[in-house]
Amino acid sequence: MSPFLYAFPCVGVFFESLLFWRLWKMVSRYPYLFAFVLYSLVRDVILFPISWYRPNWFAEVYWRTEMISLFSRFFVNWEFFRGTFPQRSALHEIAWKALLAVELGVLPGILLLSWGQASSLHHLYRYLSPVFEQYLSLAQALLLLAPAAVARYYRVAMGRNMRGLGLGFGIYLSVCSINFAGLQVLHGFVPYGRLLSPAAFIGMNAIWMWAFWDYRPSTEWTAGHENQVA
């Protein structure tokens, strides 16, 4: 493996470690995001010795843990929702209904779109269909955009924490979805395309690190907290 390909995950782990350190102070405020970051960090750290000592295990472990990672991304969706519209917020109910409307209206459309679609990337089929990852990323991106749209509509100031969370996660999910769709069509792009999703993941961690360097919650969160204290 070339030094560049080693440097790539090293940078990723570096950002994850810094993010973990910053989030440690806010664990009670953002527990779901913390759980996701902790899982990603542990997974990446474990994959290092496996790639060195047991390279034949690597693909198996990588894709199995990737499957868990795909679903644990819903934690981030939930963290964004509860961080922007906490339960005590006046807009919580309406945002929740908007989210349900998206789930019931848009997600069946995504399911319909993906139904019966076969991946042309046969070498990945052994572990996980790229089509599955593509549409799951798209669905999660839509679930992120629904509360973001409600927040924008009501001019809720999201604060640096939630803005960074949404920005990094949204870019990552969209890039993943575009990348996997692109790989189906542009086969010559595969060697570069394989690096795009991990690069977006590292970018997401870098944005999150910037966003969570300090505790800056949304106004809804702060207002609700002040009311509770009062």
Partner 1 sequence: MIEIIVACLIAFLCLVLVLVFFLTREVQTESGAAPVHPPVAGLSGACLQHSDVLLGRDDYLQMRNRPELKPVRERFWRDRRRIVLIWVGELERDVQLLWEFRRFLVRNGLHVALQEEVGILFTASWALLYLKLTRIIVFSFGPYVLRSVIRNVKLPVEQLSSRGAGLMARVPAEMKTQVERGWAEQVLILDLR
Provide the binding-site residues for partner 1, judged by CB under 8 A: 90-91, 93-94, 97-98, 101, 113-114, 117, 134-135, 137-138, 141-142, 144-145, 148-149, 151-158, 163, 166-167, 170-171, 173-175, 177-178, 181-182, 184-185, 219
CB of 58 to partner 1, least distance (A): 28
Comparison of 54 and 152: residue with beta carbon closer to partner 1: 152
> Cα dist. 211→161, 178, 222 in Å?
5, 25, 17
> Cα dist. 216→29, 159, 213, 219 in Å?
11, 6, 9, 9
CB of 141 to partner 1, least distance (A): 4
CB of 184 to partner 1, least distance (A): 5
Comparison of 185 and 230: residue with beta carbon closer to partner 1: 185
CB of 199 to partner 1, least distance (A): 15
Amino acid at 73: R
Percent composition of the chain: helix, strand, coil (DSSP 3-state, to 5): 80, 0, 20
Comparison of 55 and 109: residue with beta carbon closer to partner 1: 109
Comparison of 12 and 224: residue with beta carbon closer to partner 1: 224
Structure tokens at 125: 């089929």
Comparison of 51 and 219: residue with beta carbon closer to partner 1: 219
3-class DSSP state of 193: helix
CB of 150 to partner 1, least distance (A): 9
Could you give the CA distance from residue 113 to residue 118 in angstroms, rounded to a whole number? Answer: 11
Closest by CA to 186, choosing from 89, 121, 112, 95, is: 121
Could you give the CA distance from residue 51 to residue 84 in angstroms, rounded to a whole number? Answer: 39
Q: Phi and psi (nearest 5°) for 179?
A: -60, -50
CB of 48 to partner 1, least distance (A): 31
Q: What is the DSSP letter of 85?
A: S
Comparison of 64 and 152: residue with beta carbon closer to partner 1: 152
